Amino acid sequence: MADIIDELEWRGLLAQHTDLAKLREALANGPVTFYCGFDPTAASLHHGHLVQVLMMRHLQKAGHRPIALVGGATGLIGDPRMTAERQLQPKEVVAGWVERLRGQISRFLDFEGDNPAIMVNNMDWIQDLGAIELLRDLGKNFRMGTMLSKDAVARRLKSEEGISYTEFSYQILQAYDFLQLYRRYGCTLETGGNDQWGNLVGGMDLIHKVEGKDVHVMTTPLITKADGSKFGKSEGGAIWLDPEMLSPYEFYQFWLGAEDADVVRFLKVFTFLSREEIEALAVEVAERPHKREAQKALAAEVTRLVHGQEALDQVLAATEALWGSGDLRQVDGKTLKGATAHLPSATVEIGKTNLVDLLITAGFEKGRGAAMRTIKNGGAYLNNQKVTDPDRLITSEDVLPGSLVLFRKGKRNLAVAYLQK
């Protein structure tokens, strides 16, 4: 097996790290027990968390033992952001998010075999941490100068809003997580995003002071586009991994839209395709970019990884049916609704609404005369079937899975009509 550090560096997954020679040696002599933490700040993980989960999977595939920590306790506190104080969420909301994140993370790791993953919640040890123990046993190991120099803390202190003691103390709790996992499971490596470097080093220093042992940390880089801009927004916002918050179809389309300048790098970061496969796709980008083979591979691989093969099959069927020659009735209602969510829309009343009404409502035509001419000239479609009768009413037989009908003017002006409730 290739050296895991070499593999991570080739994929662009390694940013900062402690002594690389010692880290490489520890991983080569493994197995190493390592952990990565995920705070429940929303009901779903997003593409940024996906980088961390994939790092964990790479390390597990190399024979190391992962611990996925969901921060039921730290999620109640909030890691300081660069901009403003976080809005504290009710305890029951955070507890619900913890369970949702546990379910999402569990799909990526193997909990059986020789190096099974472990899932933990830091509420198990932080909820019993008393004020005296926090200040006397933990607080004595942290220097104010170091804590104040953290990027987010320093920036917030210069802002009008400042920073609360609640968020300022977060770094102590994250460091305490590493100490607890070292004691409980022999964990000697923490991974995380590059913006977490200061917090990760805090845990490493705490273990050295309290236990007299040297442990390791390493981070992944912030993934940006080739032009340096932030990567990861859809029309509706973040690139959520939960299919209820971002449909698999929209998820697939997001990755399909990757620029030529970015797609090969994204294939390395977000898929498990081999070097040979990625190098072959790089040739396609260089020589036949119009075919977008690399983008298709990226979208398919990441969608399969996050949502599974069945969801990918439905997404591909929906894509073919909407824009090609596929059968719309072979696509399930959930996928079809997700695929059409951002299209122009109208409502339809069975037996009363006709295609003229729909073309006008969607904004494809300004008046009935223009709409009727478009239909008579063969430029209007209902569920991919050409309609030439302007008086043709929408019937129950036209309704597709998901209780909707699709209509189109020309080749590219597509819209959806939902049944009137």
Q: How far apart are CA 185 and CA 202, in angstroms?
A: 19
User: Token match 């294939």: residue?
Assistant: 267
Q: Is 174 annotated in some ligand binding site?
A: yes
233 annotated as a binding-site residue:
yes
Is 382:405 a contact under the CB 8 Å cutoff?
Answer: yes
Contact 187, 35 (CB under 8 A): yes
Amino acid type, 79 = D
Amino acid at the residue 418 = Y
SS3 of residue 12 by DSSP: coil
List helix spans (H) across 32-113: 47-61, 91-106
The tokens 């829309």 sit on which residue? Answer: 345
Whole-angstrom distance, CA of residue 215 vs CA of residue 202: 11
- For residue 245, the one-letter residue type is M
420 is in an annotated binding site: no
The answer to whether 35 is a known ligand-binding residue is yes
Q: Is 409 in contact with 380 (CB distance < 8 Å)? A: yes
CB 206 within 8 A of CB 178: yes
Q: Which residues are annotated as a binding site for L-tyrosine?
A: 35, 170, 174
Q: Which residues are annotated as a binding site for ATP?
A: 233
Q: Which residues are annotated as a binding site?
A: 35, 170, 174, 233
